[in-house]
Amino acid sequence: MSNKNSSQQDNSFKHLSHLGWTSHFRAQLERIDNKSLIPARVTGVRKRYFFINDGKEEILATSAGKLQQESSSTYPVVGDWVMVRQTAIEGILPRKNALTRGAAGMHNKKSGEYREQTIAANLDSVFIVTGLDRDFNLRRIERYLTLVYNCGLTPVIILTKADLHKDPEHFVNEAESIAFGVPVHLVSAFNDSGLSELTPYLAHGRTSVMVGSSGTGKSTLINRLCGETVQTTGEVSASVGKGTHTTTSRDLIMMPQGGMIIDNPGIREISFWEIDQGVESTFPEIEEFAAGCRFSDCTHTHEPGCRVLQAIQDGELTEARFENYLKMKRELEYVSARKNKSAGRVEKERWKGVSMKIKSINKKKSF
Together in a domain, 106 and 154: yes
What is the structure's pLDDT at 294? 94
Is the residue at 63 inside a domain? yes
Report how many domains make up the chain: 3
Of 28, 60, 92, the residue at which a domain comes to its end is 92
Together in a domain, 290 and 362: yes
Is the residue at 106 inside a domain? yes
What is the structure's pLDDT at 354? 55
Together in a domain, 102 and 245: yes
The CATH number for 341's domain is: 1.10.40.50
What is the structure's pLDDT at 267? 82
- Flag residues of the chain having pLDDT under 70: 1-12, 68-73, 104-114, 231-248, 341-367
Together in a domain, 254 and 296: no
Is the residue at 24 inside a domain? yes
Together in a domain, 85 and 112: no
Give me the domain span that covers residue 120: 98-263
Of 92, 113, 140, the residue at which a domain comes to its end is 92
At 71, which amino acid appears? S
Is the residue at 22 inside a domain? yes
What is the structure's pLDDT at 175? 97
Is the residue at 268 inside a domain? no
Together in a domain, 175 and 236: yes
Is the residue at 273 inside a domain? no
Together in a domain, 303 and 225: no
What is the structure's pLDDT at 308? 96
Together in a domain, 103 and 86: no
Q: Which tens digits make up the pLDDT trace of 136-158?
A: 999 999 999 999 999 999 999 99
Together in a domain, 59 and 124: no
Together in a domain, 313 and 244: no
Distance CA 63, CA 30 (A): 22
Together in a domain, 16 and 147: no
What is the structure's pLDDT at 104? 60
What is the structure's pLDDT at 351? 56
The CATH number for 116's domain is: 3.40.50.300
Together in a domain, 108 and 88: no
Distance CA 364, CA 367 (A): 6
DSSP state of 155: E
Of 219, 237, 263, the residue at which a domain comes to its end is 263
Is the residue at 272 inside a domain? no
Q: Which residues of 65-97 are buried (b: 16+ CB within 10 A; e: fewer)?
A: eebeeeeeeebbbbbbbbbbeeeebbbbbebbb
The CATH number for 49's domain is: 2.30.30.140
Q: Which residues of 5-23 are buried (b: 16+ CB within 10 A; e: fewer)?
A: eeeeeeeebeebeebbbee
Contact 141, 130 (CB under 8 A): yes
Closest by Cα among 146, 271, 147, 163 to 220: 163
What share of the chain in percent tops pLDDT 90?
57
Is the residue at 249 inside a domain? yes
